[in-house]
Amino acid sequence: MSKTDRRNLPVNADRIAEDIDALAKITEPDHPWTRRAFSPLFLEGRAYIEARMKAAGLETRIDAGGNLIGRRAGLKPGLGTILVGSHSDTVPDGGRFDGIAGTISALEVARALKDQNIELDHDLEIVDFLAEEVSIFGVSCIGSRGMTGQLPEAWLSRTSGDRNLAQGIAEVGGDPSILLQQKRPDLAGFLELHIEQGPILEAEHKDVGIVTAIAGITRIEITVEGRADHAGTTPMGRRADALVAAAQLVLDIRNAATELAKTPGHFAATVGEFRIEPNAANVVPSKVVLLIDGRAEIRSDMESFIAWVDEAVQKVATAYGVTIKPPVRVSDNFPTPGNAGLLETLERACDRVGAQHRRMASGAGHDTAWIAKVAPAAMIFVPCKDGRSHSADEWAENDDIAMGAAVLFEAVREMDKTLQTKA
Ligand SMILES: [Zn+2]
């Protein structure tokens, strides 16, 4: 899979492999690779990363949001901070690379700068964000939201077992008492490397994806109400079968999303949650609640889709003799575009290290989306095998991760020269 000569990269590929392998060993033994946020294994993984940060000459701390940060002071105090990183927590039975590749690549940038005696004007911070994945508290991106004052206060009292999120954050070394006031006005720029979690880069033999936008996520709940009747005695023509109507809707949604996906900009919609009542073999279904997960790179695509759903449910209701209430938007987040200047910086960095690249959207959410609300931010993808992720089969070639780390290294050096001063 070697598409470009990796021998002359400004980063050390072996050191990246060593760290990723070491973290892979810190897992629930029967569930590779599981290192969920707030667990003892997560803290063990963090201790490893912190030791490696210290060995790289970084000054480490845990911020109020529970993020592990390694800092390297710049030559010009007050110029602002360049932040680079990702997350080291996993989903249950997750992968070796999701998040981890980005945290270790960021660390490798700091090490490569040290090896080459390169001093930056800006302060550089390497971050391992707390709980990017949906955690035991049922919420995600806790660290990146917490760092930037975007964590909803109500979340702190969410419970899991006998503790709440505030206690969980304190246990990893954060400070919930000052968490809600956190701001990072010093952030001059942020970069994240992540595995693609999709098949495009591998299929197109590209080394790096420059992420144009992180898709917005909109969840729409639809309740279809029919009438419960005897499944044996009610004639076929005299039923109000909620499930048959809902099934038609699922097909219509798939078709509408397929059409939208053909237009420019990533678009996907999925019905992944589906509840049937009474869910009994001998009763005509009386009620179905389904949840649509929609992802759009371009907001106007999502708006057309939402308008289409409103009309589609009325047509289905009429055709199948059921009642469908107006669809409810359970959540609705806008797409987050990558910073235009940083996208160009990343492209130049790819060209400098010889990485084949293309622009692409992210269908998945990432910490970058939260940092982007307060500072210029952008991310890159590296290929992963068969597009598999959130699975024990997730795999990324170390050469590809090293190539991505080299792109980060070059981009950070350019950012240090070009980013605007943060007072
Ligand atoms: Zn991730």
pLDDT tens digits for range 39-86: 999 999 999 999 999 999 999 999 999 999 999 999 999 999 999 999
Report the chain's mean pLDDT, rounded to a whole number.
95
Contacts of 197 (CB under 8 A, 6+ apart): 98, 364, 384, 387, 389, 390
Å from CA of 278 to ligand 1 middle = 38
Contacts of 401 (CB under 8 A, 6+ apart): 13, 16, 20, 97, 101, 104, 105, 193, 382
Å from CA of 131 to ligand 1 middle = 10
Query: What is the fold of 216-332?
Result: Alpha-Beta Plaits (3.30.70)
**Confidence band for 8, pLDDT divided at 50, 70 and 90:** confident
Instruction: At 207, list the tokens.
Output: 């080394």
DSSP string over 370-413: HHTTTS-EEEEEE--GGG--SSTT----HHHHHHHHHHHHHHHH
Sign of the torsion angle spanned by Cα atoms 142, 148, 150, 156: positive
- C-alpha of 144 from chain center: 11
Phi-psi category of 12—alpha, beta or left, where left has phi over 0 and alpha has psi -120 to 50?
A: beta
Which phi and psi (to 5°) does residue 358 adopt? -145, 155
Instruction: Assess contact for 324 and 263: CB atoms under 8 A.
Output: no
**Confidence (pLDDT) at 422:** 56
pLDDT tens digits for range 53-64: 999 999 999 999
Residue 229 pLDDT > 70: yes
Å from CA of 282 to ligand 1 middle = 44
Å from CA of 48 to ligand 1 middle = 19
Q: Which residues pair with 87 in a beta bridge?
A: 129
pLDDT tens digits for range 398-420: 999 999 999 999 999 999 999 86
Number of neighbours of residue 158 by Cβ within 10 angstroms: 16
DSSP assignment letter at 354: T
**Confidence (pLDDT) at 203:** 97
Å from CA of 94 to ligand 1 middle = 10
Å from CA of 215 to ligand 1 middle = 14
Å from CA of 367 to ligand 1 middle = 8
Enumerate the domain spans of the chain. 13-214+335-418, 216-332
Instruction: At 221, list the tokens.
Output: 């709940």
Å from CA of 337 to ligand 1 middle = 18
**Confidence (pLDDT) at 420:** 66
Å from CA of 74 to ligand 1 middle = 29
Number of neighbours of residue 272 by Cβ within 10 angstroms: 9
Number of neighbours of residue 73 by Cβ within 10 angstroms: 14
**Confidence (pLDDT) at 1:** 40
Residues around ligand 1, an ion, CB closer than 5 A: 98-99
Q: Measured between alpha carbons, how far is 417 from 415 in angstroms, rounded to an integer?
A: 5
The class level of CATH for 13-214+335-418 reads: alpha beta
Same fold: 13-214+335-418 with 216-332: no
Contacts of 88 (CB under 8 A, 6+ apart): 23, 35, 42, 45, 46, 49, 99, 100, 103, 128
Q: Measured between alpha carbons, how far is 118 from 208 in angstroms, rounded to an integer?
A: 25
Å from CA of 244 to ligand 1 middle = 37
Write the CA distances from 230 to 204, 224, 246, integer angstroms. 54, 19, 19
- For residue 84, which of 57, 62, 103, 61 has the smallest C-alpha distance? 103
Å from CA of 82 to ligand 1 middle = 20
pLDDT tens digits for range 252-289: 999 999 999 999 999 999 999 999 999 999 999 999 99
What pTM did the predictor assign? 0.92
Å from CA of 315 to ligand 1 middle = 39
Q: Measured between alpha carbons, how far is 19 from 51 in angstroms, rounded to an integer?
A: 11
Å from CA of 324 to ligand 1 middle = 37
Å from CA of 257 to ligand 1 middle = 25
Å from CA of 364 to ligand 1 middle = 9
Contacts of 315 (CB under 8 A, 6+ apart): none
